[in-house]
Amino acid sequence: MDTTALLALVVVTALAFDFTNGFHDTANAMATSIATGALRPKAAVALSAVLNVLGAFLSLAVAATIASGIVEQDVVTLSVVFAGLTGGILWNLVTWYFGLPSSSSHALIGGLVGSVLVAAGTSGVIWSGLVSKVAVPAVVAPVAAGLVATCGTWLVYRITRGVARGDQQREFRWGQIGSASLVSLAHGTNDAQKTMGIIFLALIAGGQLDADDAVPLWVVIGCAGAIGLGTYLGGWRVIRTLGKGLTELEPPQGMAAETSSAAVILVSSHFGFPLSTTHVASGSIMGSGVGRRTPVRWSVARRMVVAWLVTLPAAAAVGAAAEGIQHALGGWAGTLVVLALLVAASLALFLRSRRTAVGHHNVNDDWAPDASPAQPTAAASAA
């Protein structure tokens, strides 16, 4: 396959991943506002989309980490990047189908690491960067966000204990709009940059850029637009799990959870950590339940944590398999086979999801006692 054509395919696939990142992670910013009624579902995803686009232009620190801090640039080829993106996209779609709020960031990094391992062996991975900038934040971030949300929720209810309940709920709904907007802006500063970093790697591998060049403006604009469009369409299955599945939320809890999420995400973006916004948002929501002493559905939380633990290795396995197919078949044939498999799997998941559709019309339906993110039919009424 011609290098230019392969580069174009990789860029389009990267933007497709960015799109899945958008609809998969809409829940991180807007699930609580939708669950408490602070925002109507369609208005919430529209607001989040706009702010994700704006946030993508605020910083490039995370893009630099993805481009140079996880794998060795000199072993990255266009086929390696394409294989890594395949792993990230498929894991995003699988977890979206099951309504599991897993990490798009870790899916992307896992897919890339898996493809590099097949292409260049263990020497192609910067293990110290993987541990310090991915693994450690993955453990620390949800715990930190949960603690901040717990304290914030307790303080909110403590300070407003003399306020009539109706007034309290009404005023905090307005506060939630601001805090949810801040999370959306923070999400754009962190997650859109991950795809920028991947495209930057592809441009270096394709001979279009040098490692010390700046990220081109068209890459920033393209990634901002793709994540914004995905966000607007809304990942309703995941929104439902975060908003209704973990705990029953009130507006004061929602504002506390969103504010703690935004703070942790913005700090990580400043230091260039490709943090999982999903881990942060989930930790914050659980913390808000603990802070108000609202029952947390720990069975749902356990399934989510399992998904978090297997995201990196699962996406890495898909990335490794995709690179293995390309290497075995060679040239354009291997790439086209992987592309065909990716399209077929994506279409199959989408068509299957329509059997138990979740959308703005039923995302706030009561959560059944036996509902599970792993059983979409139990989590939503049929469309």
Q: What percent of the chain has pLDDT over 70?
A: 92
Looking at 121-214, list the stretches that DSSP marks H as alpha helix, in order from N- to C-terminal side: 127-130, 136-159, 165-205
When pLDDT is averaged across residues 197-201 and rounded to a whole number, the result is 87
Cα–Cα dist 113/81, whole Å: 10
Q: Residue 67: its pLDDT value, please?
A: 65
pLDDT digits (tens, 9 = 90+) for 351-381: 999 888 888 888 888 887 666 554 544 444 4
pLDDT digits (tens, 9 = 90+) for 105-130: 889 899 999 999 999 999 999 999 88
Pick the most confident of 126-135, 267-276, 318-327, 355-364: 318-327
Cα–Cα dist 177/174, whole Å: 5
Residue 274 pLDDT grade (very low, low, confident, very high; cuts 50, 70, 90): low
The count of structural domains within the chain is: 1
pLDDT of 219 strictly over 80:
yes
330: tokens are 């060679």
Question: How would you classify residue 250: left for phi > 0, otherwise alpha for psi between -120 and 50, otherwise beta?
Answer: beta
When pLDDT is averaged across residues 323-330 and rounded to a whole number, the result is 93
pLDDT of 30 strictly over 50:
yes
Q: Residue 372: its pLDDT value, please?
A: 58
When pLDDT is averaged across residues 69-87 and rounded to a whole number, the result is 90
Residue 374 in 3-state DSSP? coil
Q: Which carries the bigger pLDDT value, residue 223 or residue 277?
A: 223
pLDDT of 383 strictly over 60:
no
pLDDT of 43 strictly over 90:
yes
CB-CB contact of 66 with 198 (8 Å): yes
Cα–Cα dist 135/108, whole Å: 14
pLDDT of 382 strictly over 60:
no
Containing structural domain, residue 238: 3-363+370-379
pLDDT of 101 strictly over 70:
yes
Global pTM? 0.87
Q: Which carries the bigger pLDDT value, residue 339 or residue 362?
A: 339
pLDDT of 102 strictly over 90:
no
> What does each C-alpha distance from 59 to 55, 103, 158, 330, 365 come to in angstroms?
8, 21, 36, 38, 38
Mean pLDDT (the chain, rounded):
86
- CA geometry: angle 177, 169, 370, nearest 5 deg: 90
When pLDDT is averaged across residues 222-228 and rounded to a whole number, the result is 92
pLDDT of 269 strictly over 80:
no
